[in-house]
Every structure is written in C-alpha cells, then in structure tokens.
Amino acid sequence: MTHTYIVTGMTCNGCKTSVEKTLRGIENVTDVSVDLETSEVNIVMSKHIALDTLSRTLPKKYSISEKEIKNAFHSVSQESIGEKSELRQLLPLFLIFGYIMVASFLLNNKPWDLEGFMFDFMGLFYIVFSFFKLLDLKGFPDSFRMYDPLAKAVPVYAWIYPFIETALGLMLLMRFQTTAALVLTLVVLGITTIGVTKTLLDKKSIQCACLGTALKLPMTKATFIENSIMIVMAIIMLLKIYN
C-alpha cells in the first residue's frame, strides 16, 4: 500500500536524501520517494505504519502530516482549515513586523518625522531579520537558494546575505551613506522579490527564509508584501533625496 504525506522543513537535496534514508529504515517500509518542490512524500508499506511512528523517526527539523484529499463536499472546509493553519504559521512574522512598526513610530512621533520613521523602519527590519538568519547560518543558505535567483547562480551570495542585511540596517539607522543603502535595497530586495514572485506563481510549497530556518514559515504572499513595502519605501526616500 502507498500513502502520501507532506513533510515540511526540507530545503535542499540533502534534506530530501536524509528523509528518504530515514523513512526507508523503518520496518515494513519498502520504498520512499520525495518530491522536494511539493514537499510530498510517497511511502510504500507492507503493513500500515502509524503517523506518530513516522514523526518520531524523522529528525526534529522535519514535521510530517497526512496529505489532505479534497473533494466536492469537503473542498471549502479543507481550504478554510489550510488558511487558518497558514495564518498561525505566519503569526511570528506579523508580530515582528508589528513590533518594528511600533518602535519606528515611537522613535519619530515627537515631533512626527516621516523620513525618520521610514529610515528607522527599514533599518530595524534589516537588523531583526538578519538576526534570525544568523541563528542558523549553516541552514539558511540552502533554504535561500531555493528561490533567490542570485543565490542560485552564485552560492556564496547566500552565505553573505545576512551580513549584507546587517550592514544595510546599520547604515540606515546611523544615517550613514543612506543613498547607497537605499540603492542596494532596491537591488537586493528586487532580486529576491523576483524569486518570490516566481515561486508563488509556480505554486511551489517551500520554506521562506526571510526569518532564517529557526522559524518555519511557508512561502506566501506575506513575503512578497513585506519585500514590496521595503522597496516602495526605498523608492520614496530616493525621490526625496533627488528632488
């Protein structure tokens, strides 16, 4: 008998090989095949194996669940459940985004300074997001290369990306070479947003590396929106500088 599951946390071919090898080692498993792009895992069993057993066997960085089968009668409820689950997964991202916005507002509300707000928002955004990437510097590059075009073409770029974010954050917060920092923001986030857009259009189910691998976030429209906000702010600030 063949059962299909969804395994999250896989970011590269090494993860795929690890999952296949681990699951093949379970008694009564005769074959395992993994589709990295969809996160689907097909397991051929000679005898039914409980989901708990599969979950306990896999390393903690992976989570496994049964693939939901939609039909005409259950499609609405299944989609509703999926949306709620996605929102719960994205909660850390929304909280961090909210804290950055509130902090930037408090730093610039007396008197209100819109330019200062945007500089501080962008600077804090870079610093906080780079912090989470640096928590797992070994795991981040593989995850980032899944969708960033430049990281795919130049692997070393994925390794230095968190440090680029840190540098840009400090430049914006300290108001040091802000024009260069804004231009680099357009280039760096522009490239990443191209990869995010392609991933969303292709409907690939992969992990978002915006907060590194410490927090398991799915690639969603929220990633596109956060990048777009930063790009729009950078464009506004550059127009102010050159006008």
Whether residues 101 and 146 share a domain: the answer is: yes
Domain assignment of residue 78, yes or no: no
Check whether 191 has a pLDDT greater than 70.
yes
Whether residues 54 and 100 share a domain: the answer is: no
Nearest to residue 9, comparing CAs of 61, 51, 75, 85?
Answer: 61
Beta strand spans in the chain (E):
2-8, 29-35, 40-45, 63-66, 207-208, 217-218
Whether residues 46 and 105 share a domain: the answer is: no
Whether residues 114 and 228 share a domain: the answer is: yes
To which H or E segment does residue 238 belong?
Answer: helix 221-242
What is the spatial distance between Cα 189 and Cα 233, in angstroms, rounded to a whole number? 12
What is the spatial distance between Cα 242 and Cα 171, in angstroms, rounded to a whole number? 19
The arithmetic mean of pLDDT across residues 115-132, rounded, is 94
Q: What is the pLDDT of residue 60?
A: 83
Tens of pLDDT along 70-84? 544 444 444 443 444
Please, are residues 44 and 30 in contact by the beta-carbon 8 Å criterion?
A: yes
Whether residues 60 and 154 share a domain: the answer is: no
DSSP-derived 3-state class of residue 40: strand
Quote the pTM value. 0.66
Domain assignment of residue 84, yes or no: no
Domain assignment of residue 81, yes or no: no
Q: What is the pLDDT of residue 214?
A: 67
User: What is the identity of the amino acid at 45?
Assistant: M
Check whether 224 has a pLDDT greater than 90.
no
Domain count, the chain: 2
Helix, strand, coil shares of the chain, percent, nearest 5, are: 60, 10, 25
Mean pLDDT of the chain: 85
Structure tokens at 53: 């057993």
**101: CB partners within 8 A, 6+ apart:** 121
